[in-house]
Amino acid sequence: MIWFSVRRLALLIVSLAVASVVIFLLLHLLPGDAAQVAAGTQASPAQVEQARHDLGLDKSFVHQYASWVGGVVHGDLGSSVLSGVSVSDQLNKKLGVTVPLVLGSTTLSILVAVPLGIFASIRHRRVDGVALSALTQLGIALPTLFVGLMLIVIFGVHWELLPTQGFPSSGWRDRSEAARSLVLPVVTLAIAQAAVLTRFVRSAMLDVLHQEYIRTARAKGLTRLQAITRHGIRNAALPIVSVLGVQVAGLLAGVVVIERVFSLPGIGQMLLKDVGNRDIVKVESTLLVITAIVLLIGFLVDVALRLIDPRLRSAR
């Protein structure tokens, strides 16, 4: 298990290094001039050239890449071209919105999907089980944008129970207000996430319910629920954990729509704005951080799978 973790960490580092090269090259192929943006629209050619020199854009790609990566290795993600503010400080602030949003929706989806998926597998030939499966199909089919707008209309406009736009300027200092501002976005993301996860739980549990060890457990006197709880869930957990890891990674990379709908100052909104402003250093550092988080999630999923299934621990 230790050697496996070491190998996976080494692969993570190599993958992150390759990703940094790809991010750097692709962003420098984008149209536009970061020096022109930094100097301003009314800047003279001399001022633009001075801005290009100050930003290091007059040096070779290799030098620019080495300078950026060298700073990242030492914990310096650089500074924004437009504001001059540290990228690390801005990322910490934005992740304080995005990470709770992703974790909250994931937790809620697990709490909903696991029992519903188990119920749907047990009752898969009954009317209520079929109805539940049809409901999950509807949850998958509904666009997240539409669901978010409907929740805003119902809970924000008509009933006026929850805030629908923005996030407290004080951040998490006012925890109750910050949590209330994330309720609708979390529920919006969790609906689609739970619908997908419920179907995977149902499918995994259906496979487990027909295994010999479940029949043996029932023959020893366990009820169906006891057999599923003690033996079924753990054996069905492998595909569920894998899918959950993919979902969380996808949410981190795709929360921009929800942050846009609910006007949340998260990392997705920031990234969208920075791409438009051609703030190259900030964009590439932000993308690298997101990539690192996604790779870390993959690493944790692999470790979790080996902890769940002892058979995988002996595999190379």
DSSP state of 138: H
pTM of the model: 0.84
pLDDT band at 28 (very low <50, low <70, confident <90, very high): confident
Residue 266 has what pLDDT?
Answer: 86
Residue 16 · residue 294 · CB < 8 Å: no
More confident residue, 312 or 114: 114
Q: Please say if the pLDDT value at position 43 is more than 60.
A: yes
More confident residue, 302 or 45: 302
Q: In whole numbers, what is the pLDDT of the chain averaged over residues? A: 82
The partner residues of 79 in beta bridges, in order of sequence, read: 86
Tokens 């700073």 belong to which residue?
Answer: 71
Over range 166-182, report the average pLDDT.
86
Over range 112-139, report the average pLDDT.
87
Q: Please say if the pLDDT value at position 195 is more than 60.
A: yes
Residue 311 has what pLDDT?
Answer: 64
Residue 47 has what pLDDT?
Answer: 72
State the number of CA atoms in the 13 A half-sphere of 77 facing the CB.
20
